[in-house]
């Protein structure tokens, strides 16, 4: 937290396979408590379920990539 004034957002990226967003829920909860914006790479390598987790569990304000969103019509409607 000593660098909090230099940071705007906390993001999730890197290899998705085997690393669902739910694994990082506590980190994102703390980030939001501290007032950071939150974003996540989700659904690029991982399934649409990873996008749901990023939205519902991590409460991100933005999904980066999200290619697999197109395989879930309900998720497309939710994001729109």
The set of catalytic residues is: 44
> By C-alpha distance, which of 21, 31, 28 is closest to 54?
21
Q: Tell the burial category of 45 from Cβ atoms under 10 Å away from its Cβ (0-12, 13-18, 19+).
A: middle
Cα(70)–Cα(30) distance, integer angstroms: 31
Cα(27)–Cα(51) distance, integer angstroms: 17
């Amino acid at each position: 937290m000593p660098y909090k004034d230099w940071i705007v957002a906390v993001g999730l990226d890197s290899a998705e396979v085997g690393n669902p967003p739910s694994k990082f829920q506590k980190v994102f909860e703390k980030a939001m408590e501290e007032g950071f914006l939150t974003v996540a790479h989700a659904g690029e390598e991982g399934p649409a379920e990873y996008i749901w987790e990023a939205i519902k569990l991590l409460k991100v304000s933005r999904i980066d990539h999200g290619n697999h969103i197109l395989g879930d019509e309900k998720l497309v409607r939710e994001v729109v």
